[in-house]
Amino acid sequence: MKSFFKISRNEKGQVAIFVALIFQLLFLFFAMIINVGLLVHHKINLQNSVDLAAYYGAMKQAEMLNAMAHVNYQIRQSWKLLAWRYRVVGTGGADEPGLTPFNHRTMQLDPGLDQEGAHPRIAETYKRPVFCGMYSPLKVFDVNGEVRSDKDENLCKGILSGGSRVNLFTVPKISAAFISLASIASVFTRQMLGNITDRCQWSGYFNFTTLSTWVVGFNFDQLTRRLLIAKMAKGLSLSTDDFLDIDGESGKEGIKNTLMNNLTEANRDSVEFEVLNGFRQGECYGNPANEFDPPAWLSEIAFYPGFIYQDNICSDKQITPDVKLLSQEPKDLPQYQTNQFQKETVSQLSTFLGVPSAPYQYTLGFEKNPWCMGYVGVKAKSKPKIPFSPADFELTARAFAKPFGGKIGPWYFKNWPSGSTRSSGSNENLDEKIDPLAPPRLNDPNQIGDPKTFQSEMRAANYSRFPGDRLGLMSMQPLGQYIKALHDKNVPIVINDWDHILFDRSSQSMLIAGKNPIGDMLAWGWTSNQRPPLREIEAAAVAPDQFDITYYSIDSNFYENYFKRLKDGKLLQKIGYTWPLRGDIGSRFDGTAELEKFSVKDQIEIVKTKIPQQLLDHDSKLTHVVRDPFQLLTSWNSKDLLDYTTIPEGKYFGGCLKSVNEIPSDKRSPYPGDCILGGRTGYSVKLISSDYLRSRDLELGGPTSRGSIINAPDPTW
């Protein structure tokens, strides 16, 4: 009894019973903690992975946009080159003291005109310059390689004041024919008159063909570039859920790989995902009619510039200037075409002159519709297997990312109303144009529009050097600098050094439609087959200026960063681009690796170190020209990955903390702007919310135009 009593009073084991009773509850709590923890973990992983996938997609969009923006800038440079040749080379023979900033007699600049500003007395004359190239020191060769210009000859002396009529000497009458000296003098005089008349007749043909070569060469050059942009834009707008990247790979496939590589195994085993390509949403793709038409989110800036050249009426008594419009109209063609070669050349060139028609219309490139926003959306769903879970939970994550901060190029006008397909304004109101000196825009490439507008001086080729510039090469200071360089004794000029732009050097046959495999737009030695000094002056003339870096995303090393990837990748084949691929102005594809690699940074290097100040004064007179490649680094950049609001002053805009050149050549990779740490060029990328994309109060088309984008994602997405 006593033992039983002791056993019945023994309290040991009560905790075990209690634990046994609450074990299931504790296990349930433990399982719930694990379950919730894993669920949160997989949810965070899914969201982070979707964020990275969207960021990757927008980054690939940004790469394509950066390449397109730079090609668009190449069109701008090609236009600058044409305007420079027309105004500088075309008026460099004017020998009228007091009317031109360069004095041919003293071979010095006129101190009274060597300043920024229009000519105080004849500003109107410079608005519509007349092209004339028959003057010293330009050397002109004919098809047989014979010099057709005399070193002291100048048929362009009076072009600023309407042209100079030249009275010729008469052949003396011989009253005593038996005097041999008089007979010889008469024969010699007739020969001289014949030579002068011959050169007079030839000069009009020469002025026409030289200017036409530049103009048609520009149209052929921009044709290949705008075709590339249009096809790249279509590749970027491939479908509602996919696009091509700069290497020709599927953007959706890259987004998928990025997503999968960052998912947990549980998420990866059950994930389903969707991609949204902003460039193909809403009405932003439109209906491109042919291969030259881009999607609707790009609008071509077609225009119709005017060029004037000096022809001559030649007789045995006088030479009378005859100013003509460069066009294909019979009345505007040179009066004297004395042989079959000249007739064929004029006929070939004139085909591409006059009223612009596709695909050879004049263009300043493209402007991007701000109401079509580029973005990538990624949505993923997964049902991860979680231990102790009573049911399968479906996790959903969405993310949007967009390229931003870059610039395809300037709009033509300053405002872009919501719903419009192009920037809006008046051709005649210079205050409404971003580049006041750009020729009037065409609403339709096949229509000239208002005759009053298109007969004005606004059509004459010119360009702004900095924002708000209304003079360009009408300003006496830059014009004088460049004309002075043309007359420098160390800069021999052979007009035929531009023949390669359109003509095959060996056969002199025209390279129709610009399918020129060399792709060189700058002067090249016609007889020497080498770089002439004039080539560097032209390269310096088209180098980036303050206007360019304000409105374009420019990569200083286009060849390494984009050209090679385009050339070696699959993109060109997939988008159907079969034309010669052209590099920056100054590149030349004739087997010389150095010239193939020529890029904007080389243009700037010429300005900085290769042209002496006494030839072109970039220090105090041509100050609008960029002199450091890192000044192109003007796009947005954050302080770090977590700080999007603070930008360290003096380190990021126009500055580079570590450049590609600081890395051994065998370990380098392409970096936009050749800058690893510091400023950026082109488009950056950021994550955005769907609420932003669906906002109805975005200020995108200028200060007076607010609204919503036309390619917002569907609310159910």
Q: What is the DSSP string of 659-694?
A: EGGGS-GGG----GGGEEEE-B-S-EEEEE-HHHHT
pLDDT for res 11: 63
Q: How far apart are CA 335 and CA 342, in angstroms?
A: 11
- Give the residue-averaged pLDDT of 627-632: 92
Mean pLDDT score of the chain? 86
Q: How far apart are CA 483 and CA 621, in angstroms?
A: 14
Q: Token digits for 247?
A: 């290497």
SS3 state at 317: coil
Highest mean pLDDT among 123-127, 154-158, 643-647: 123-127
Q: Which secondary-structure segment (H or E) carries 466?
A: none
pLDDT for res 159: 87
- Give the residue-averaged pLDDT of 332-350: 90
Q: Are 264 and 374 in contact (CB under 8 A)?
A: no
Among the listed residues 347, 59, 100, 49, the one whose alpha carbon sits nearest the alpha carbon of residue 216: 347
Q: Token digits for 393?
A: 């939970």
pLDDT for res 230: 97
Q: How far apart are CA 392 and CA 383, in angstroms?
A: 6
Q: Could you read off the pLDDT of 247-269 as tens digits, one per residue?
A: 999 999 999 999 999 999 999 99
- Give the residue-averaged pLDDT of 627-637: 82
Q: How far apart are CA 62 and CA 681, in angstroms?
A: 11
pLDDT for res 172: 46
Q: How far apart are CA 472 and CA 415, in angstroms?
A: 23
Query: Is residue 580 reached through a cis peptide bond, with omega within 30 degrees of 0 on the bond before it?
Result: no
Q: How far apart are CA 700 and CA 417, in angstroms?
A: 9
pLDDT for res 603: 97
Q: Are 497 and 532 in contact (CB under 8 A)?
A: yes
Q: For Cα atoms 328, 333, 339, give the angle at the middle one, nearest 5 degrees.
A: 120
- Give the residue-averaged pLDDT of 423-451: 80
**581-601: string of b/e by CB count within 10 Å (b at 16+)?**
bbbbbbbbbeeeeebbbbbbb
The one-letter code for the residue type at 620 is S
Of 47-61, 461-475, 694-708, the one with minimum mean pLDDT is: 694-708
Reported as a pLDDT band with limits 50, 70 and 90, residue 626 is: very high
Query: Is residue 137 reached through a cis peptide bond, with omega within 30 degrees of 0 on the bond before it?
Result: yes
Q: Could you read off the pLDDT of 509-567 as tens digits, one per residue?
A: 666 665 778 899 999 987 788 899 999 999 999 999 999 999 999 999 999 999 999 99
Considering the entire predicted model, what is its pTM? 0.90
- Checking if the pLDDT of 142 tops 60, the result is no
Number of Cα atoms under 13 Å in the Cβ half of residue 195: 11
- In this structure, what DSSP letter does residue 89 have? I
Q: Are 657 and 633 in contact (CB under 8 A)?
A: no
Q: In what order do the strands lie in the sheet with 318-325?
A: 130-131, 308-314, 318-325, 166-167
- Cβ-Cβ contacts under 8 Å for 28 (sequence gap 6 or more): none
Of 210-214, 226-230, 670-674, the one with minimum mean pLDDT is: 670-674
SS3 state at 321: strand
- Cβ-Cβ contacts under 8 Å for 52 (sequence gap 6 or more): 258, 259, 262
Rg of the Cα atoms in the chain: 34
Q: How far apart are CA 462 and CA 440, in angstroms?
A: 12
- Give the residue-averaged pLDDT of 422-428: 89
pLDDT for res 506: 64
- Which residue matches tokens 């400023």? 679
Reported as a pLDDT band with limits 50, 70 and 90, residue 448 is: low
The one-letter code for the residue type at 251 is G
